[in-house]
Chains A and B, each alone.
Chain A
Amino acid sequence: MSNKTDDHAEPNYWMVWLALAILTAVELLVARAPGPKSFVVFSLCALALAKAALVALYFMHLKFEKYALILIVMSPLLLSAIMYIGLVPDAITHLHWLPH
Chain B
Amino acid sequence: MAHAVTMNEVERYENQLTPGWGKLMMWVFLCSDAMSFAGLLAAYGAVRLGSSNWPVPSEKLDVPLTALNTFILICSSVTMVKALSAIRHGDRKGFLGWLAATMTGGASFLGIQAYEWTHLIHEGMTIQGNPWGVSTLFGATFFILTGFHGCHVLSGVIYLFCIFVRGAQGAYGDENYSPVEIAGLYWHFVDLIWILVFTFVYLIS
Q: Which 3 A-B pairs have the closest CB atoms?
A: A48-B199, A5-B19, A80-B38
List the A side residues contacting B45 at CB < 8 Å.
Answer: 84, 87, 91
The contact of B50 among A16, A56, A79, A94, by CB within 8 Å, is A94
A72-B24, A76-B35, A91-B49 known; 18 new pairs, CB 8 Å cut-off, are A1-B20, A13-B81, A16-B78, A17-B75, A24-B67, A24-B74, A28-B63, A31-B204, A52-B196, A55-B192, A59-B80, A60-B185, A60-B192, A72-B17, A76-B32, A79-B38, A80-B38, A83-B42
The smallest beta-carbon distance between B178 and chain A, in angstroms, is 5
List the B side residues contacting A52 at CB < 8 Å.
Answer: 192, 195-196
Question: Any chain A CB within 8 A of the CB of B114?
Answer: no
Q: Using a CB–CB distance below 8 Å, which chain A residues touch chain B?
A: 1-6, 10, 13-14, 16-17, 20-21, 24, 27-28, 31, 37, 40-41, 44-45, 47-48, 51-52, 55-56, 59-60, 65-66, 68-69, 72-73, 75-76, 79-80, 83-84, 87, 90-91, 94-96
Q: How far is the CA of A21 from the CA of B71 in the complex (A)?
A: 7
List the A side residues contacting B118 at CB < 8 Å.
Answer: none
Across the interface, do A3 and B78 meet the contact criterion of CB distance under 8 Å?
no
Q: How far is the CA of A13 from the CA of B88 in the complex (A)?
A: 15
The smallest beta-carbon distance between B180 and chain A, in angstroms, is 9
Q: How many residues of B contact A (CB 8 A)?
A: 55
Q: How far is the CA of A6 from the CA of B52 in the complex (A)?
A: 51
Across the interface, do A69 and B27 meet the contact criterion of CB distance under 8 Å?
yes
The contact of A87 among B46, B175, B185, by CB within 8 Å, is B46
Q: Using a CB–CB distance below 8 Å, which chain B residues touch chain A?
A: 15-20, 24, 27-28, 30-32, 34-35, 38-39, 42, 45-46, 49-50, 52, 58, 63, 67, 70-71, 74-75, 77-78, 80-82, 85, 88, 175-178, 181, 184-185, 188-189, 191-192, 195-196, 198-200, 203-205
Across the interface, do A73 and B42 meet the contact criterion of CB distance under 8 Å?
no
List the A side residues contacting B185 at CB < 8 Å.
Answer: 60
- The residue in B16, B20, B78 that gathers the most chain A C-beta atoms within 10 A of its C-beta is B78
Q: How far is the CA of A28 from the CA of B27 in the complex (A)?
A: 31
List the B side residues contacting A83 at CB < 8 Å.
Answer: 38-39, 42
Given contacts A31-B204, A55-B77, A59-B81, contact A66 B175 (CB under 8 A): no
A contact face: mostly helix, strand, loop, or mixed: helix
Across the interface, do B58 and A84 meet the contact criterion of CB distance under 8 Å?
no
Q: How far is the CA of A60 from the CA of B78 in the complex (A)?
A: 11
Q: How far is the CA of A22 from the CA of B88 in the complex (A)?
A: 29
List the B side residues contacting A87 at CB < 8 Å.
Answer: 42, 45-46
List the A side residues contacting B88 at CB < 8 Å.
Answer: 3
Across the interface, do A13 and B82 meet the contact criterion of CB distance under 8 Å?
yes
Q: How far is the CA of A91 from the CA of B188 in the complex (A)?
A: 31
The smallest beta-carbon distance between A77 and chain B, in angstroms, is 8
List the B side residues contacting A51 at CB < 8 Å.
Answer: 195
